[in-house]
Homo-oligomer: A and B are copies of this chain.
Amino acid sequence: MQKQELSYEDSKFTLDTYWLDPISDFDEPVDQPLAIICPGGAFKFQSDREAQPIAMKFNAAGMHALVLHYQLIEDGKAVYPLALQEMATTLNWLKTQSESHHIDLNKVVLVGFSAGGHVVASFNSIMLNPDERKKIFTDDLEVEPSANILGYSVIDMTLGWPKDEEWSMKISPDIYYWQAQEHLTKHGKPTFIWQTVTDDTVPVMNSIIYAQKMDLLEIPYEMHLFGSGGHGLSLSTYVTKHPDGGDYNVYDAKWWELCVNWMKLQEILPKF
């Protein structure tokens, strides 16, 4: 892993980059898809459990991976709209990297967990709509994602998380950013959604309302709501399990296999 520093206006932010090397046995390098991962952490931190272990799964599936350290509540700054501007900056930066790292820019996937999912869903809703985007990002968006993956994602901050409005105000004093589903348009991209119905932190209704909005707008989606397990499962395997036990659910680990199948369906990965 190598750190990459980028900036939007005067705000610096960091990417963890996990590049695949080209396979020199091949006559010429193959461009590979890429995943940009937004870990969760309640906008207070970014959990390592949803960073490198997730990047490793994408790498193993033949995809480059980046972990975006999007804006948190810190230094007196709000998350929004800065997190969205950082994501857009990251996407545009990919264009400068595609030749040296052999990136297939038509196969970029945004991946968000919990709070990080709110960033991804908001990007999908707001930033892919040119009319809304240009209010907060004056450059062109030169690289668009082709799909999103949302794990136990916050969608609407009025549905139970955060628990108090004061916290929501710190995330964004502008309530425009509270409800990602409200801004979704036909510009939104196909989205894979998974969560547990027994999530005791972010109510599953977050996932359901986003799916319903996608359904209404006829945007392709897939949604898996598992019957057990709590919040923050990450891979739901021993790899991301807390050493002291903690939450872990063998059935929910199926999400990754389902997600790979779906990426094949979306032609991000080859079918065979």
Chain B residue at smallest Cβ distance from A24 = B48
Residues of B within 8 A of A227 (CB): 190, 192, 220-222, 262, 265-266
Kindly state whether residue A238 has any CB partner on chain B within 8 Å: yes
Contact yes or no, B261 A251, CB < 8 A? yes
In chain A, positions 43-61 with a C-beta closer than 8 Å to chain B are: 47-49, 52-53, 56-57, 59-61
**In angstroms, how far is the closest chain B Cβ from the Cβ of A214?**
8
Chain B residue at smallest Cβ distance from A232 = B25
**In angstroms, how far is the closest chain B Cβ from the Cβ of A98?**
18
Kindly state whether residue A228 has any CB partner on chain B within 8 Å: yes
| Bitwise interface map of A from 254 to 265 toward B, beta carbon under 8 Å scored 1, else 0 | 100110011011
Return the contact of A23 from the options B49, B60, B197 (Cβ within 8 A).
B49
Contact yes or no, A59 B62, CB < 8 A? no
In chain A, positions 180-224 with a C-beta closer than 8 Å to chain B are: 190, 192, 197-198, 204-205, 208, 211-212, 215, 220-224
Kindly state whether residue A243 has any CB partner on chain B within 8 Å: yes
Which 4 pairs show the lowest CB-CB distances between chains A and B?
Answer: A222-B227, A60-B60, A62-B239, A238-B270
